[in-house]
Amino acid sequence: MQCIVNRRAKFSASHRYWLPEISESENLEKFSACSKYPGHGHNYVLFVSMAGKLNEYGMVLNLSDVKHIIKKEITSQLDFSYLNNVWSEFEETLPTTENIARVIWQRLAPHLPLVRVRLFESSELWTDYMGNSMESYLTISTHFSAAHRLASPLLNDEKNAEIYGKCSRPHGHGHNYHLEVTVKGEIDERTGMIVDLGTLHQVIENYVVELFDHTFLNKDILFFTQVVPTAENIALHISNLLQQPIQELGIQLYKVKLIESPNNSCEIYCDQPVLRGVQL
C-alpha cells in the first residue's frame, strides 16, 4: 500500500534580496524593503513529504532516521544563518522562499523518497516544490469580512429555508473569510522568484479584498444578485476574477481556497476551464 508521510522541521535564518550587478536604486525598485542592508529574518517552517509502501513494521520510513537526515543536511546548516552566504546555490540564485525549497529538495533527494517540500516563510506566505525543474507553487493567504444570505431569487422563502436552513434567514449572517491564492510559475534563475511578490499582493488586494471586504455579498456584488453566494460560488467567482490579471504577470493561477469557518472550506483548482457560479 502506497502512503505519504510528512515530517516537520524549523529553522530561523536571515536573507537579503540584492543583486550586485545592478545599482542600489535598481535593487530598491526591484526588491523594495527586502533589499535593505544587512537583511531581514524569518522563522521558517519546513514540511518534507515522502512516499512509499508500508513495511512489515507498519511504517513507510523510520521517522527518527528522517529527523536526523533533515537535521544533518538542512536545519543544522540553515538555522541561525545568513542564507545568502550559507550555500553556494544562493550565490547564483537568491534565497527566496521558492528557491530555498528547491535547493532543500536537491539536498534531500539522494537520501529520501520525496514527493513535496513545503516551506512556510510566514503564516501568510509559503511555497511548494515537487521536484519539477524550476517549477514552483507560491501561496498567499489573506482575509476579508463579509455577510451573505443563502437564498435563490428564483425560490420562495419556504423553499430556500428547506434547502439552506438558518443560512436563508432574511437579514443574512457574516464570516471572517480566509483566502489562500496559489500560483504556479518558473523560478527565475537569478532572482529566485516566480513573480514579484508585491505586485501579486496588489492584484489580490485590488481584484478581491477591496471588492469583497465589509460587504453584503448578495447586494453589493453584482454577480451575487443572481447567484447564491455559497462558499463554493464565492471561490469560483474569485478564481474567475483573478485568472486574467494573474496570467498577465506571467504566471498561472493554480488554486483558490476559501475558508468560511474552521468547519467549512472549499478549493477550486484553476487549471480547468473558466466556470460559472451555480444558482441552485
Active-site annotation, residues: 167, 214, 260
CA 152 to chain centre: 32
